[in-house]
């Protein structure tokens, strides 16, 4: 007696029931009076014998998927989400980003939130287009000080509250200046108990969501955190971007900007790199070098990026 998987007629019939008649394996098991594990083996045999051929067509709506795969492979990213520039901040792109962030948040109760125009614009758009989630027990924590002069809607405190509203949870407020006049003052201020109540939680973050700053349309400049001459000097001396107010060069090195970075009250680069899910968001073609440096420094291991920037980033990586 031949094995059931060697019975070509049976293999063919099983495949027809599954792929053409859309029967579930459990239903086929009852029809053919064969165990469910055997049904699974018959379907596999159908592929081996060429009775069934599976072809994956890449529809236009998923044309960014191959770019995402290339980004993940080229830059050793856990995840890459590429959004078509024509669909930026529309329901279609927002739904993709919303579902991705929701997936990353799953099982991670403490979530760090940075600052910036990109995060603000994204959250405003998400708030207007997607259905808010009910409380999931998440706590969104600002990772930089939240007291500044201008554009408070780009500050970490405001954005943490917006994340809590959209994704479900609560937000902690961090009432501290973001930048001090010198490192010594910042160091002493960081020892205050009211500050440590927030910053001590940085070591327990499971996720951090960060905008990636660049010279063009700088949030640091627009929010009054830094003067134009200082910003220009940093970029003349090799800076390509900042993340959580920490400047870095194309290789992801921060040493030459140490004197400024130590004036910042917030999460430090070495703390960022220990977080399991480090999501960077860049939806602007002026940020290619900033993203490239952030990847080289291992500040991010997941990236949400627009299609035009993704292609330019791949060209730079190759």
Taking only the tens place, the pLDDT of each residue in 176-211 is 998 999 999 999 999 999 999 999 999 999 999 999
Whether 200 contacts 194, CB under 8 Å: no
Of residues 307 and 220, the one with the higher pLDDT is 307
Say whether pLDDT at 298 is over 70: yes
pLDDT (0 to 100) of residue 315: 95
Cβ burial of 66 (10 Å; 0-12, 13-18, 19+) is: exposed
Say whether pLDDT at 148 is over 70: no
- The percent helix, strand, coil of the chain (3-state, each to 5) is 50, 15, 35
Of residues 54 and 291, the one with the higher pLDDT is 291
pLDDT, mean of residues 214-241: 88
Q: Would you say domain 4-48 falls under CATH 1.10.10.60? A: yes
pLDDT (0 to 100) of residue 256: 94
Task: Map residue 305 onto helix, strand or coil.
Answer: strand
Query: Residue 218's closest CA among 190, 239, 192, 237?
Result: 239
Question: Where do runs of H (alpha helix) occur along the chain?
Answer: 8-15, 25-32, 36-48, 65-75, 91-105, 117-129, 156-167, 183-189, 193-199, 219-222, 228-236, 258-261, 269-272, 288-296, 307-317
Say whether pLDDT at 147 is over 70: no
Whether 80 contacts 68, CB under 8 Å: yes
Per DSSP, the chain holds a count of helices (H) and strands (E) of: 15, 9
- The pLDDT confidence band at residue 62, using thresholds 50, 70 and 90, is low
Query: Residue 225's closest CA among 125, 112, 114?
Result: 114
Which fold would CATH assign to domain 60-317? Rossmann fold (3.40.50)
0.85 exceeded by pTM:
no
pLDDT (0 to 100) of residue 58: 62
pLDDT (0 to 100) of residue 9: 81
- The pLDDT confidence band at residue 43, using thresholds 50, 70 and 90, is very high
Domain boundaries, the chain: 4-48, 60-317
Spatial neighbors of 216 by CB under 8 A, at least 6 apart, are 284, 286, 287
Spatial neighbors of 201 by CB under 8 A, at least 6 apart, are 110, 141, 172
User: What is the spatial order of strands in the sheet that 79-83 belongs to?
Assistant: 79-83, 302-306, 277-282, 207-211, 110-113, 138-142, 169-171
Of residues 215 and 268, the one with the higher pLDDT is 268
Whether 251 contacts 293, CB under 8 Å: yes
Phi-psi region of 246 (alpha: psi -120 to 50; beta: other; left: phi over 0): beta
- The pLDDT confidence band at residue 90, using thresholds 50, 70 and 90, is confident
Say whether pLDDT at 109 is over 70: yes
Say whether pLDDT at 25 is over 70: yes
In sign, the C-alpha dihedral spanning 58, 60, 61, 67 is positive
Say whether pLDDT at 61 is over 60: no
pLDDT (0 to 100) of residue 1: 54
Token pair, residue 206, equals 């499971």
Query: What angle do helix axes 65-75 and 307-317 make, rounded to 10 degrees?
Result: 40
């Amino acid at each position: 007696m031949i094995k059931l998987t060697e019975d070509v007629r049976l293999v063919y019939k099983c495949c027809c029931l599954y792929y053409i008649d859309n029967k579930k394996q459990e239903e086929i098991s009852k029809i053919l009076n064969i165990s469910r594990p055997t049904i699974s083996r018959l379907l596999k045999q159908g592929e081996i014998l060429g009775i069934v051929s599976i072809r994956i067509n890449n529809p236009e709506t998923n044309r960014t998927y191959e770019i995402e795969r290339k980004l993940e492979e080229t830059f050793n990213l856990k995840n890459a989400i590429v959004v078509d520039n024509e669909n930026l901040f529309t329901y279609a792109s927002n739904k993709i980003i919303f579902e991705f962030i929701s997936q990353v948040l799953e099982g991670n109760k403490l979530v760090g939130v940075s600052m910036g125009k990109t995060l603000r614009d994204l959250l405003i758009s998400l708030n207007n287009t997607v259905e808010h989630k009910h409380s999931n027990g998440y706590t969104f924590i600002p990772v930089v000080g939240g007291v500044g002069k201008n554009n408070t809607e780009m500050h970490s405190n405001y954005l943490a509250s917006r994340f809590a509203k959209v994704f479900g949870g609560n937000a902690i407020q961090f009432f501290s200046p973001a930048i001090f006049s010198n490192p010594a003052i910042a160091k002493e201020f960081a020892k205050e108990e009211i500050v440590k109540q927030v910053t001590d939680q940085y070591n327990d973050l499971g996720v951090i969501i960060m905008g990636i700053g660049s010279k063009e349309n700088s949030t640091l400049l627009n929010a009054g955190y830094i003067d134009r001459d200082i910003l220009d000097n940093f970029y003349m001396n090799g800076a390509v971007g900042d993340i959580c107010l920490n400047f870095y060069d194309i290789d992801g090195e921060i040493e030459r900007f140490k004197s400024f970075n130590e004036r910042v009250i917030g999460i430090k680069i070495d703390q960022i790199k220990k977080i399991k899910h480090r999501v960077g968001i860049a939806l602007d073609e002026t940020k290619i070098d900033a993203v490239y440096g952030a990847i080289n420094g291992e500040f991010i291991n997941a990236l949400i990026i627009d299609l035009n920037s993704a292609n330019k980033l791949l060209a730079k990586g190759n």
